[in-house]
Amino acid sequence: MNNTYKITTHNEMETIEVAQNIESEKFPNMVICLNGDLGSGKTVFTKGFASAMGIDEITSPTFNIIKEYVGELPLNHMDVYRTNGDVASLGLEEYFNNGGVTIIEWAEMIEDYLPKERLDITFKITGENDRVIVITAHGEKYQQVCEDAL
């Protein structure tokens, strides 16, 4: 059963608060899939999540595809935009199961490679600083995260 939550934010700080609330419910092998247009808040969300884990230096992994950080748990930050969906050689399963949290920007491009249980977060620009954030929980653990964090 998938449950969907919708949140409207009016500035980057509110988007960061959503990320920090979800981070407070994190668990090993958590997978968060971020989707939305350029500039819609994917990296802002990731920075907020990471800062709550004690990781301050987050940069977009556009040219590296995957960046690994060490915080309370390992954080795998992926940007699969430049892969054109060809990620078979990246060893995604290893990242999904390394005991950390994996955040994937542009995740819709690699949907076939994503675990069945995950959190999908879509960012929609509705005004200059306004965003509608649609969060879909796939699986019981992710449902619980949403109930506890949102």
CA–CA gap between residue 10 and residue 80 (Å, rounded): 27
CA 17 – CA 48 distance, rounded (Å): 7
Q: Give yes or no for a contact between 5 and 146, defined as CB atoms under 8 angstroms apart.
A: yes
Inside any domain, residue 141: no
The whole-number pLDDT of residue 65 equals 86
Domain that holds residue 48: 8-134
List residues bridging with 123 in a β-sheet. 36, 133
pLDDT, residue 50, reads: 96
pLDDT beyond 90 at 1 = no
Q: Is residue 140 part of a domain?
A: no
Count of structural domains within the chain: 1
Residue 109 lies in a domain: yes
Residues 55/7/127/80 CA torsion (nearest 10 deg): 50
Mean pLDDT calculated for residue range 133-141: 97
In a domain, 43, yes or no: yes
- 62-110, pLDDT tens digit by residue? 667 899 999 889 999 999 998 988 898 889 999 999 999 999 999 999 9
pLDDT tens for 8-52 read 999 999 999 999 999 999 999 999 999 999 999 999 999 999 999
**What is the predicted pLDDT for the residue at 124?**
97
Amino acid (1-letter code) at residue 46: T
pLDDT tens figures, 105-126: 999 999 999 999 999 999 999 9
CB 7 within 8 A of CB 132: yes
**CATH number of the structural domain spanning residue 124:** 3.40.50.300
Does 129 map to a domain? Answer: yes
